């Protein structure tokens, strides 16, 4: 990262685009607490991840950040429901799983009738929607999606992007999505273009971002930047 500084408001949908080697993945790992910053600040919900130990970052990451990857990473021996329940169990949250919320989430993602099936019995689009449900069930502060449509055909890609938009609008989830695809990025409210470790351009997507009606925001500042 070179001189990167930006803020993401609570409830915003931001896409990060750029060619291979532009720094997208490095930014993803820094924001997710998977890599420790060597300088600068990464402030999420008022906590600077750059100052935390590995154990502290792991604990806060499990509670506040959810990941959606290009690979679905579903356990093949568990049903869709089992995969979601396991993700909640390892999150460390003390409250019992909110079943009505999971029902609402399943309806939103159009997978309620598929929860009893194993991954091998689901289409690629259905598997990715299960992965989205797994990410959202803990009600994270931020969802980081890394090429979430990379393994999908056009039809399923459009469906998954629409589901991310709906979760952002209806559940007020803050979403940061990394993608190589400029068309996919257009579903976001704001698009950050990266090259050689820098943000070189910022533009609005086709759809305005939905901001939750709350004070404050989920903000991030990464190495090289002064922070906001």
pLDDT digits (tens, 9 = 90+) for 54-78: 888 888 888 789 898 888 889 999 9
Give the chain's residues under pLDDT 70. 207-228
DSSP 219: -
**219 lies in a domain?**
no
| pLDDT at site 91 | 86
pLDDT of residue 81: 96
| pTM metric for this prediction | 0.82
Instruction: Specify the CATH number for the domain of residue 48.
Output: 3.40.50.300
User: What pLDDT is attached to residue 209?
Assistant: 39
Q: Which domain holds residue 197?
A: 13-73+140-204
Given this model, what pLDDT does residue 218 score?
46
Domain membership flag for residue 89: no
CA atoms of 76 and 15, how far apart (whole Å): 30
Residue 225: per-residue pLDDT: 40
The predicted structure's pLDDT at residue 180:
86
| Any domain includes 209 | no
Task: Note whether residue 2 is domain-resident.
Answer: no
Number of domains in the chain: 1
Token pair 């959202």 in the structure block, residue = 136
Residues 6+ apart with CB under 8 A from 167: 108, 109, 132, 136, 143, 173, 175
Residue 149 lies in a domain: yes
- Look at residue 5 and give its three-state secondary structure: strand
Identify the pLDDT of residue 193.
Answer: 94
């Amino acid at each position: 990262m070179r001189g990167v500084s930006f803020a993401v408001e609570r409830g915003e949908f931001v896409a990060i685009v750029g060619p291979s080697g532009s720094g997208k993945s490095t930014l993803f790992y820094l924001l997710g607490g998977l890599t420790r910053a060597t300088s600068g600040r990464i402030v999420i919900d008022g906590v600077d991840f750059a100052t935390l130990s590995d154990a502290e970052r792991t604990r806060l990451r499990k509670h506040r950040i959810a990941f959606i990857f290009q690979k679905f990473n579903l356990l093949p021996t568990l049903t869709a429901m089992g995969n979601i329940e396991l993700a909640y169990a390892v999150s460390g949250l003390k409250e019992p799983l909110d079943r009505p919320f999971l029902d609402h989430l399943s309806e939103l993602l159009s997978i309620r009738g598929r929860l009893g099936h194993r991954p091998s019995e689901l289409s690629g689009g259905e598997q990715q929607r299960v992965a989205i449900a797994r990410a959202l069930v803990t009600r994270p502060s931020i969802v980081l999606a890394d090429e979430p449509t990379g393994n999908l055909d056009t039809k399923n890609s459009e469906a998954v992007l629409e589901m991310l938009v709906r979760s952002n609008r209806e559940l007020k989830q803050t979403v940061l999505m990394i993608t190589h695809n400029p068309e996919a990025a257009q579903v976001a409210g704001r698009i950050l273009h990266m090259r050689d470790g820098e943000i070189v351009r910022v533009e609005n997507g086709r759809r305005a971002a939905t901001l939750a009606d709350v004070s404050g925001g989920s903000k991030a500042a990464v190495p090289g930047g002064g922070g906001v």
